Chain A
Amino acid sequence: MNPKSRNSRREMSKALSRVANASVSETLEEQKSIPINNLYRIGVTGAPGAGKSTLISHLASKRVQRDRKIGVIAIDPTSPVSKGSLLGDRIRMETVSDNPNIFIRSIPSRRAHDGLADNTADILWSMEDKNFDEVIVETVGVGQAEYSIRSLVDTVVLVLLPESGDAIQAMKAGILEMADIYVVNKSDLPGAEQMAGDIAVTAARKSGVKEEWIPKVIQTSNNNIDSFRALDEAIESHRIWRSEKVNRDEERRARILYQVQGLIGRRIEELIEVLTDSDLDKTPKEIYEILIENLSKFPK
């Protein structure tokens, strides 16, 4: 089951694949006890092409300077037609790709449409005991990804572009309430200053409560490596704020609920895939009952 390799990195990498490829029942069998939460989880989300991967590359190189071991889970979409994927995030992470303290794994979104992969929660769960200090998750660039990533990570970084209208769009979608840190990336392009100002005003608005975290707004650019230091520092202050203010029990319960919802969703998909033509000739109620009956058995 766990073949020993003389290369510990290869062994860890293979163990991660086993989790990534596991069926629902295999996953459930593996998750025997609740791991101690060691891993600091950073989620990076934002529209396609906003610069998430490039930013993670810069951020990871800052985080390792804090003497931490960093895992990166980079999610790209599965093609709905072929079920294959082109996992292209890593190309933007070349400069940190062979740093011994940074491990990057590209994964396909598979059946999920919420910006994550359908097994992200299980992958993060398994990373708790693999000697990482932090994990950075890059979501697929789709709308609403903010909501799901929020349930799984400690610090949510939303990457925006300095194009006019983007701030309004973000306000409309309500995503300006989801993130802990707003990054106006590509700030070498015009409009960044204005955009950052708009967001800062909007974000500060919610700080009616004293105990609340006031989201930080940061401008970054690939042309100015130093700009990522401010992002690194903002994450650090959020981390410290959280360690004092956040109710870990409540959070753990919310996470495990998201995880179980994901497992049930995947199990339903597994059961749908094995429905026969004659099952599908029945009424919705009958098909529903078949599914519910099969769902109630422990997956084999």
Chain B
Amino acid sequence: MALLGKRILIAKPGLDGHDVGAKIIALALRDAGADVIYTGLRKSPLYIARVAVDEDVDAIGLSILSGSHKEIVVQTLECLNELDASDIKIFVGGTIPRDDYEGLIAAGVRGVFTA
């Protein structure tokens, strides 16, 4: 129950319709004690940032399988900043090539988790 009292948004940007992974992560986080909110499929970075503000989450987990992780991450961080919410942490999962980890971290992602 390491995450007791933490609020986490699991978000599914991009156009692919696969969210089994996102749902499993959501369940695992719940089992670790977190309060988890899931956005549903195909959400824009702005939508995700707005929901994160309204739900006042501590972190957002982006599940990305589409390959456009860099753009999505940058846009989401920009939207958060615009909404004065850049203290909300972002982590990323999905299909992310190892070579891209460093770039994502440099952009401001706190962690990259893949299967």
Q: Which residues of A contact B (CB under 8 A)?
A: 5-7, 9-10, 13-14, 16-17, 21, 79, 81-88, 90-91, 94, 97-98, 103-108
Contact = CB atoms under 8 A, between A and B. Distances in A.
A83 B4 contact: yes
Nearest to A91: B40
Contacts of A14: 56
Contacts of A82: 1, 30-33
Contacts of A9: 53-54, 83
Nearest to A7: B84
A79 B30 contact: yes
Contacts of A103: 54
Nearest to B82: A7
A170 to B, nearest CB: 31
Nearest to B44: A98
B37 interface: yes
B50 interface: yes
Q: B1, B29, B46, B84 — which one has the most chain A CB atoms within 10 A of its CB?
A: B84
* Nearest 9 A/B pairs, CB to CB: A84-B30, A7-B84, A84-B33, A17-B56, A91-B40, A87-B37, A5-B84, A13-B56, A82-B31
B26 interface: yes
B35 A10 contact: no
Tell me what chain A mostly uses at the interface: helix, strand, loop, or mixed: mixed
Nearest to B3: A84
Contacts of B53: 7, 9-10, 13
The listed residue with most B CB atoms (<10 A of its CB), out of A6, A90, A103, is A90
B91 interface: no
A200 B14 CA distance: 47
B27 interface: yes
B47 A97 contact: yes
A110 B36 CA distance: 13
B100 interface: no
Interface centre among B29, B34, B40, B56 (most CB of A within 10 A): B56
Interface of B: 1, 3-5, 26-27, 29-40, 46-47, 50-51, 53-56, 83-85
Contact of B27 (A7, A13, A86, A90): A86
B85 A86 contact: no
Contact of B85 (A7, A83, A104, A107): A7
18 contacts: A5-B84, A9-B83, A10-B83, A10-B85, A13-B53, A13-B55, A84-B30, A84-B35, A85-B35, A90-B38, A90-B39, A90-B51, A91-B40, A94-B40, A97-B47, A105-B54, A106-B55, A108-B35
A97 B51 contact: yes
Contacts of B37: 87, 90, 106
Nearest to A107: B35
A84 B36 contact: yes
Contacts of B33: 82-84
Contact of A83 (B1, B27, B47, B51): B1
Nearest to B85: A10
B11 to A, nearest CB: 12
Contacts of B83: 7, 9-10
Contact of B30 (A5, A85, A107): A85
The residue in B29, B33, B35, B46 that gathers the most chain A C-beta atoms within 10 A of its C-beta is B35
B60 to A, nearest CB: 14
A83 B4 CA distance: 7
A10 B27 contact: no
Given A82-B32, A84-B32, A84-B35, A104 B40 contact: no
